[in-house]
Amino acid sequence: MNMKNNKKNVIEIKDLTLAYGSNIIQENLNFTVQEQDIFVIMGASGCGKSSLLRVLMGLLAPAQGSVSYNGVNFWAQDENNQKKLLRNIGVMFQGGALWTSRTLAENIAIPLEHYTNLTPKQIVDVSRYKLAQVGLSDFGDYYPSEISGGMRKRAGIARAMALDPQYVFFDEPSAGLDPISAAQLDELILQLRDSLGMTMLIVSHELASIFSIANNSILLDAKTKTFIAKGSPCDLLGSENEEVQTFLRRGKKKGEGTDPLECL
């Protein structure tokens, strides 16, 4: 799924190092995300994907380097300006992270109650509209325990979109779903990107989803503590790097058998 390369850079990572104390997780990260990209951060478990997402979300300060949104270096700003920048980011947490004591509509209402001056009636209307955008228009009065895992993920996306952010970050969106539900969630992500023009950044190691939705990506490596590949996952299938092939082909070598995930 190639997109014309005439988009502007909206997220820029320069010389980024992630560390917990003296323990370096990733270093020398340099990449850009363009507007309306579906950009995937991929890699095996323990390589630092979630740590990188935390830095991008403002939850973990980098040991070195910068993260810029539309040319503004997030980590060089004071707390008030950081909060303003974060208003442009919505996050869909792994599993949905919904409040179990609130209905789906009430969950979507939480950021609207805290960060807008909308009236209660307007908040209800916006919450219902966001649920409709993810195919849950009839489920606003349901509690998270009353719906399926895939529906909870959709509700989590609706809450992430509550404030109409420019960027939406997803942490392992299809993890734990059966193949059909995962494919339906991938289709929803594509539809929302196309209809709303948002930029999406996704942490994932689910190859089926990666090949279905990503137009750009980086592959983090725990051994070298940096990324070893950058670009469209489909293009990376042609890489001569053995570690890249091992990840993208589930252990197969290039040219070894037929890969069901191979891009057409």
- Full set of structural domains in the chain with CATH: 6-88+201-254 (3.40.50.300)
Give the model confidence (pLDDT) of 156-165 as tens digits: 999 999 999 9
Whole-Å CA distances, 184 to 135, 154, 188, 264: 11, 10, 6, 20
List beta partners, residue 89: 167
Q: DSSP character for 232?
A: -
pLDDT at 116 over 90: yes
**Nearest-angstrom CA–CA distance, 52 and 172:** 13
Give the model confidence (pLDDT) of 174-216 as tens digits: 888 899 999 999 999 999 999 999 999 999 988 999 999 999 9
Residue 216 and residue 231 in contact, taking contact as beta carbons nearer than 8 Å? yes
- For the record, the structure tokens of 219 come out as 């592959």
Grouping H, G, I as helix, E, B as strand and the rest as coil, residue 53 is helix
pTM of the shown model: 0.90
Burial level of 242, CB count in 10 A (0-12/13-18/19+)? exposed
